[in-house]
Amino acid sequence: MRFADYEYLIEGPRIKILKVRIRNGKVQRRKRVSGVKGYTIRGGRLQRISTQERMNRRRGARRGKIKRRAKLARALMKRARSMRKLKSLGGR
C-alpha cells in the first residue's frame, strides 16, 4: 500500500493512529504507531526500542533487501525466458 493511502490521526503528540481503508463504514485496518523516534508501542504504552533490537532490525532489513533483489532478479529471468519461448512460437 502506498504512503499516500494512509490517514494520520493524532492521539496526543506521541501516538499516531494509522487509519487505512474504510469500506461500508468498517475500518479494515486501524493501527497505533509511535510518533516518537526510537520508541515503539507495546501493550498500549510507549517503550524504548533497545539497542540490540535496533541492530537486529537493521540487519534484518539489510538481509531482506538482498533477498528481495535476488527474488526479483529470478522472476525477471524467468519472465524473459517465457517471453523468448512465446516469441519463438509466434506469439506476441
Calculate the CA dihedral of residues 58, 63, 66, 67 and round it to 10 degrees: -140
Range of the domain at 83: 3-88
Structure confidence at residue 1 (pLDDT): 46
Domain count, the chain: 1
C-beta separation of 37 from 49 below 8 A? no
- pLDDT tens for the chain, 92 residues long, are 444 555 555 556 788 887 788 889 888 888 888 988 999 999 988 999 999 999 999 999 999 999 999 999 999 999 999 999 999 998 77
- Model confidence pTM above 0.75: no
Cell of 85: 519461448
Q: Which residues contact 33 (CB under 8 A, 6 or more apart)?
A: 15, 16, 17, 18, 41
Length of the chain as a residue count: 92
